[in-house]
Amino acid sequence: MLDYEAALAQDIPGVRVTAAVGRGWTTGERILAQLEPAHALGTVVIVGLATDGPVSSAQLTPMMSFLSRASRVALVNTRVDRTWQDSIDAVLAEGVARDPRAVVVDWYALEVEHPDWLYPTQAHLPIDGPGAQALAGIVAAAA
């Protein structure tokens, strides 16, 4: 989310982004679990943790449970040249099918049309580049 934080702030005034390079699902889940009881999360929660490692249904289910006060949970899927890409996107899609508050932000579909938006690592976007703007736009539309 660091790649498109500024663009997201333009599209969603007042958005609070808590992001770090290389943050995986388990760490992100732990941070959300700490923020939720303190009422530090909004009614819309955007989760973009799918790039840095695999995610299972056993991990998504408890997260959705402790985010029970959220009226919408936007889960950003991934397009990354890693073995876990397809399984993560499937887990997120299955989670959305089970929870009416959840929606998948389909970064995969958008990025597959524009691979030139990414750095050569094929994992990250240039900050404020066209990909960052586009991703922020679809996240804002889903939120």
| Stretch 27-42: mean pLDDT | 90
Q: How confident is the model at residue 122 (pLDDT cuts 50, 70, 90)?
A: low
- Stretch 4-14: mean pLDDT, rounded? 91
Average pLDDT, the chain: 90
Which residues, at least 6 apart from 65, have a Cβ–Cβ distance to it below 8 Å?
none
pLDDT at 118: 80
**Neighbour-count burial for 80-104, b at 16+ CB within 10 Å, e otherwise:** bebebbeebbebbeebbeebebbbb
- Domain annotation for the chain: domains and CATH numbers: 2-142 (3.40.50.1110)
Cβ neighbours for 85, distance < 8 A, ≥ 6 positions apart: 78, 79, 108
- Pick from 60, 66, 65, 55: which is nearest to 33 by CA? 66
Lowest mean pLDDT among 35-39, 71-75, 120-124, 135-139: 120-124
